[in-house]
Amino acid sequence: RRQSRRIGPLAGKNCLVTAGPTHEPLDPVRYLANRSSGKQGYALAEALADLGAEVTLISGPTALRPPAGGAVSFCETARQMRDLALKAARSTAFDAAICTAAVADWRPAHVQDQKIKKTGKDDLPPPLALLPNPDILAELSEPSPSRPRLVIGFAAETETVEAHARAKLARKGCDWIVANNVGAGSDVMGGSENQVILITQDKVEHWPRLSKEEVARRLATTLADWFLKPHKS
Ligand code: CTP
Ligand code: CA
């Protein structure tokens, strides 16, 4: 356990945050990815640190400057992100893990060493075979001595947000889920605002539309409150 010299309601708490997209290479010049700026995850890492937490940020490729002070590891693919997250969880007893990353659900089954070339103008596009990626949130949620005390997922949904998010909470085995509507017109992907529903085991809160920084601060505060009264998860 790292020694904390920070102050605030999360002083002494270790938090793991995954953020950003993952890139799944197809050949040296192409990849498959999710839309994600990383803004929500980076804002969360910063808000947790502002309340005194020791933050470990595991980030896919983004254009953002990581928050100062915390530990940051960068990766490209879902499998790299999974390896970094599980390795971190084995070496640090995390009080909370928050998976904000937009992990690519699938990766190209074959990564070509050379750029795939068009061969002629009437050629069909090459077939794209995919393989499923590991589910980092589900793996972190599995019962084990290194399971973070509280595991929180984000759920990107485009319709029936709350119902889908509840199903996801149950399926993944995490403790809380933060659901956001990323449907057409929501402007969440890449945007600076977010509107979320926080689902814990005993409550559902519909938050107003807020900046991603404000969503991050509220979530960090909710966590700090939970650590004071962890019985009501
Ligand atoms: N997640 C993850 N690893 C994956 C896929 C998702 O850790 N391979 C995490 C995300 O970081 C997020 C949560 O799981 O916290 C939900 O991600 P989402 O894409 O909304 O859910 P999926 O289970 O992948 O379902 P679907 O994309 O089909 O809605
Ligand atoms: Ca997904």
34 is catalytic: yes
Q: For 88-139, how does the pLDDT look when each residue is reduced to its tens digit (9 = 90+)?
A: 999 999 999 999 999 999 999 999 999 999 877 777 888 899 999 999 999 9
Nearest CA to ligand 1 atom 25: 168
> Which residues' Cβ are closer than 6 Å to ligand 1?
18, 78, 99, 101, 103, 105, 133, 135-137, 153-156, 168
- Please give the Cα distance from 172 to 190 (Å, whole number): 25
Distance 104 CA to ligand 2 centre (A): 6
- Please give the Cα distance from 81 to 113 (Å, whole number): 22
Q: For 142-151, how does the pLDDT look when each residue is reduced to its tens digit (9 = 90+)?
A: 999 999 999 9
* Per-residue DSSP letter, 120: -
- Please give the Cα distance from 40 to 215 (Å, whole number): 8
Q: What angle do CA 69, 218, 179 make, to 5 degrees?
A: 105
Contacts of 123 (CB under 8 A, 6+ apart): none
The number of angstroms, rounded, from the C-alpha of 18 to the middle of its chain's C-alpha atoms is 4
Of 14, 34, 180, 181, the active-site residue reads 34
Distance 34 CA to ligand 2 centre (A): 9
Decide if 207 contacts 197 (C-beta within 8 A). yes
Quote the mean pLDDT of the chain: 92
ipTM of the shown complex: 0.98
* Closest ligand to residue 157's CA: 1
> Which pTM was predicted?
0.94
Nearest CA to ligand 1 atom 17: 155
Q: Please, where are the H alpha helices in the chain?
A: 39-50, 78-91, 136-141, 161-172, 212-228
Instruction: State mean pLDDT over 202-209.
Output: 91
Residue set of the binding site for CTP = 105, 115, 134-137, 154, 168, 172
